[in-house]
């Protein structure tokens, strides 16, 4: 007992130090901004913050806007948003040194002088990548991740790291170290996750460009919940996060991607990243530069669409978002073709859950060993600890009453090597079938629903099954982007009263409650393309955004 008490108090001490570091970061930001304002009282911060990224880059390149004016405008705004939403975990003080060097060298990359925010789990030299785990505190990264290295070479200035949920396997944004991050549009709502700190900071206007990771919707949830845009590329189009930081099996593909206020900013970012530096630093990234011709094409598109995946019933606002976007696209001369989704429940249980917990959750459990709090992943941890016979029994008892719970329990059993090989083969087969259906309809891109509006704080943890719309495209490894298209209306709220769900189980009832009281919150759609066609995906997103 004494040893246990000693270990726990040691962990709490680490948490306290980390929180003090976070507070010091905010104080450093405040002092830096105050110093700058005293020296340059006439700088119009508001006009700088209102510039879209392409215009801002142009002004920085031609010298009509000094990089320090832009940098301190965003540090000031980021500080305000961090105070309101608790989205920043650390201020990268070396960014001020980089700013001074950038002014001296005068070497202009595509993102010269642009302040960018970085998700906690992406390595920045000399800073922790905690993933919300106490055991990862005081273990600074030895070097920048490839994405951060390329950003620096393109002239961008990473200036803050942002909050994540513990383990990243959640679409909320809370951990024991830094606490809960709030949605900047409505503080009682979740900002989404796992790139929730990024979503809150960019959604609130405290960053013009940010980077997150996505293994089940972790870029797309925060973008949709906070009313901004994001792109999840094909897994290896940009350097994916190192697998020691993430602990899932290959069936569900992780990706690194950008988040910004508009699509043009995402395109500019991809243009900057898909360069010789990226291809030289990482030979696993295919040397495919940004295809300008595809992105700027005005050819009419042939677009597949669906309103539901028949697993998670869409909220009235989600359904309306797809219908209205479909109508606008048709009016603009594009061809829209209904796409029939098959077996999404099988994909979620058998490929995603079983793929991520192929060893029965043993490696997942190992990550939580010795942590102080695990409540956000309570169900999965409990199942991971349960013996095989108990899972089998539970699955059998629950099947007639809660079929989804029964399937999850069954999917979390330990697989043999042979079964894992078969699983990989099955996923390959599914990808071939899905692509064949896509080609048969001769589609260019796909329009899909995106879970929304933002759920109340605490709800994502109870609704892990609602990731079906996003996780499908991690299993398929297709590029997918999110664009906000509408807001929840009073009519949507009225219609929500008759929301039942497809399974009418506890999860469906909880999701109906989570959607309630959302009038005025943004709702997005997902835009999807075939693997390696990020430019076409962005072109489609731009079309949707413009319309």
> Are the beta carbons of 173 and 197 closer than 8 angstroms?
yes
pTM: 0.96
Q: Is 217 annotated as a binding residue?
A: yes
How far the first Cα of the chain sits from its last, in Å, is 64
What secondary structure, in 3-state letters, does 191-224 show?
Answer: CCCCCHHHHHHHHCCCCCEEEEEECCCCCHHHHH
> Residue 525 domain-assigned?
yes
User: Is 439 marked active-site?
Assistant: no
Instruction: Count how many Cα atoms sit within 13 Å of the Cα of residue 13 in the half-sphere of its side chain.
Output: 6
Domain edge (last residue) among 351, 383, 414: 414
> Residue 288 domain-assigned?
no
> Residue 186 domain-assigned?
yes
Report how far residue 532's alpha carbon sits from residue 286's, in angstroms, rounded to the nearest whole number: 10
Number of domains in the chain: 3
> Residues with Cβ < 8 Å from 319, sequence gap 6 or more?
307, 308, 449
CATH number, domain at 36? 3.90.1300.10
189 upstream amide cis, omega within 30 of 0: no
Active-site annotation holder among 25, 77, 95, 119? 119
Residue 423 shares a structural domain with residue 499:
yes
- The 10 Å CB-count burial string (b at 16+, else e) for 62-97 is eeebebbbbbbbbbbbbbebbeebbbbbbbbeebbe
Q: Is 216 annotated as a binding residue?
A: yes
453 upstream amide cis, omega within 30 of 0: yes
> Are the beta carbons of 95 and 139 closer than 8 angstroms?
no
Residue 264 shares a structural domain with residue 379:
no
Supply the pLDDT for residue 106.
66
- Name the DSSP class of 161: E
> Are the beta carbons of 110 and 271 closer than 8 angstroms?
yes
Could you tell me the mean pLDDT of each successive run of 10 residues in the chain, 547 residues long? 92 96 98 97 96 97 95 98 98 96 82 97 96 95 97 97 94 96 98 97 98 96 98 90 51 91 98 97 95 98 98 98 98 98 92 88 86 72 88 93 91 92 93 97 98 96 94 96 98 96 94 96 98 98 98
Q: Which domain, by its residues, includes 367?
A: 359-414
Residue 381 shares a structural domain with residue 272:
no
Supply the pLDDT for residue 243.
44
State the burial class of residue 504 (Cβ atoms within 10 Å of its Cβ: 0-12, 13-18, 19+).
exposed
Q: Of the candidates 343, 171, 356, which has an alpha carbon nearest to the alpha carbon of residue 253?
A: 356
User: Is 194 marked active-site?
Assistant: yes
Q: Phi/psi zone of residue 63: left (φ > 0), alpha (ψ -120 to 50 degrees), beta? A: left
Two tokens, residue 24: 């010091």
Residue 305 shares a structural domain with residue 251:
no
Residue 382 shares a structural domain with residue 448:
no
Residue 176 shares a structural domain with residue 320:
no
Q: Is 215 annotated as a binding residue?
A: yes
DSSP 426-481: HHHHHHHHHHHHHHHTT-SEEEEE---SPPBTTHHHH-GGGGHHHHHHHHHT--EE
Domain edge (last residue) among 414, 435, 460: 414
Sign (positive/negative) of CA torsion 14, 16, 21, 26?
Answer: positive
Residue 237 shares a structural domain with residue 317:
no
Residue 364 shares a structural domain with residue 404:
yes
Instruction: Count how many Cα atoms sit within 13 Å of the Cα of residue 282 in the half-sphere of its side chain.
Output: 22
Residue 439 shares a structural domain with residue 483:
yes
Q: Phi/psi zone of residue 488: left (φ > 0), alpha (ψ -120 to 50 degrees), beta? A: beta
What stretches of 38-111 adopt beta strand conformation (E)? 88-91
> Residue 99 domain-assigned?
yes
Q: Is 207 annotated as a binding residue?
A: no
Coil/strand/helix, residue 527: strand
Question: Residues 143, 145, 147, 149: what is their CA dihedral angle, to the nearest 10 degrees?
Answer: 10
User: Is 117 marked active-site?
Assistant: no
Active-site annotation holder among 117, 218, 411, 518? 218
Q: Is 95 annotated as a binding residue?
A: no
> Residue 516 domain-assigned?
yes
> Residue 351 domain-assigned?
no
> Residue 350 domain-assigned?
no
Report how far residue 331's alpha carbon sits from residue 326's, in angstroms, rounded to the nearest whole number: 9
Q: Of the candidates 315, 252, 264, 263, which has an alpha carbon nearest to the alpha carbon of residue 491?
A: 315
Residue 54 shares a structural domain with residue 202:
yes
- Name the DSSP class of 125: B
- The 10 Å CB-count burial string (b at 16+, else e) for 389-409 is eebeebbeebeeebebbbbbb
> Residue 503 domain-assigned?
yes
Q: Which residue has the tokens 């939403």?
A: 85
Residue 383 shares a structural domain with residue 457:
no
Supply the pLDDT for residue 356.
85
Domain edge (last residue) among 261, 283, 305: 283
> Are the beta carbons of 118 and 161 closer than 8 angstroms?
yes
> Are the beta carbons of 384 and 360 closer than 8 angstroms?
yes
Active-site annotation holder among 25, 129, 194, 207? 194
Report how far residue 408's alpha carbon sits from residue 417's, in angstroms, rounded to the nearest whole number: 20
Supply the pLDDT for residue 246.
47
The β-bridge relationship of strands 522-528 and 445-449 is antiparallel
Residue 501 shares a structural domain with residue 539:
yes
Q: Is 498 annotated as a binding residue?
A: no
């Amino acid at each position: 007992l004494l040893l246990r008490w000693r270990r726990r108090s040691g962990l709490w001490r680490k948490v306290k130090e980390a929180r003090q570091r976070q507070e010091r970061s905010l104080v450093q930001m405040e002092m830096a901004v105050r110093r700058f304002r005293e020296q340059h009282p006439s700088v119009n911060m508001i006009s700088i913050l209102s510039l879209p990224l392409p215009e801002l880059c142009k002004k920085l390149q031609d010298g009509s806007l000094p990089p320090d004016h832009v940098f301190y405008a965003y540090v000031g705004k980021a500080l305000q948003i961090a105070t309101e939403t608790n989205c920043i975990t650390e201020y990268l003080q070396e960014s001020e040194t980089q700013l001074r060097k950038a002014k001296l060298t005068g070497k202009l990359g595509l993102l010269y002088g642009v302040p960018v925010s970085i998700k906690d789990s992406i390595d920045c030299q000399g800073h922790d990548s905690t993933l919300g785990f106490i055991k990862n505190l005081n273990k600074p990264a030895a070097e920048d991740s490839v994405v951060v290295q390329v950003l620096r070479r393109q002239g961008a200035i990473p200036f803050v790291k942002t909050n994540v949920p513990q383990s990243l396997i959640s679409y909320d944004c809370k951990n024991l170290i830094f606490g809960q991050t709030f949605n900047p549009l409505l503080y009682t709502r979740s900002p989404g996750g796992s790139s929730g700190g990024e979503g809150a900071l960019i959604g609130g206007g405290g960053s013009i460009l940010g980077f997150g990771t996505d293994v089940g919707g972790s870029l797309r949830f925060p973008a949709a919940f906070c009313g901004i845009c994001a792109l999840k590329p094909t897994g290896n189009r940009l350097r994916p996060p190192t697998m020691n930081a993430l602990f899932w099996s290959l069936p569900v593909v992780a990706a690194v991607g950008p988040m910004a206020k508009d699509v043009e900013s995402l395109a500019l970012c991809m243009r900057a990243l898909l360069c010789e530096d990226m291809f030289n630093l990482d030979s696993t990234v295919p040397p495919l530069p940004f295809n300008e011709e595809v992105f700027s094409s005005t050819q009419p598109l042939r677009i597949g669409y669906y309103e539901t995946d028949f697993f998670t019933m869409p909220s009235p606002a989600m359904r309306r978002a797809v219908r209205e976007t479909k109508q606008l696209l048709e009016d603009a001369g594009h061809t829209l073709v209904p796409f029939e989704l098959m077996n999404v429940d099988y994909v979620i249980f058998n490929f995603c859950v079983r793929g991520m917990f192929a060893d029965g959750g043993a490696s997942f459990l190992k990550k939580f060993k010795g942590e102080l709090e695990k409540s956000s992943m309570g169900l999965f941890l409990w199942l991971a600890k349960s013996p095989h016979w108990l899972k089998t029994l539970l699955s059998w008892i629950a099947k007639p009453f809660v079929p989804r719970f029964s399937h999850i329990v069954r999917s979390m059993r330990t697989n043999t090597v042979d079964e894992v090989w078969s699983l990989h083969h099955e996923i390959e087969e599914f990808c071939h079938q899905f692509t064949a259906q896509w080609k048969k309809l001769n589609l260019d891109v796909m329009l899909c629903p995106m879970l929304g509006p933002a759920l109340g704080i605490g709800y994502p943890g109870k609704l892990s099954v609602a990731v079906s719309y996003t996780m499908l495209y991690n299993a398929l490894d297709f590029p997918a982007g999110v664009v906000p298209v509408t807001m929840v209306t009073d009519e949507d709220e009225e219609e929500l009263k008759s929301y039942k769900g497809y399974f009418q189980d506890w999860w469906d009832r909880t999701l109906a409650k989570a959607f309630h009281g959302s009038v005025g919150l943004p709702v997005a759609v997902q835009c999807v393309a075939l693997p390696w066609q990020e430019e076409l995906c962005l072109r489609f997103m731009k079309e949707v955004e413009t319309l």
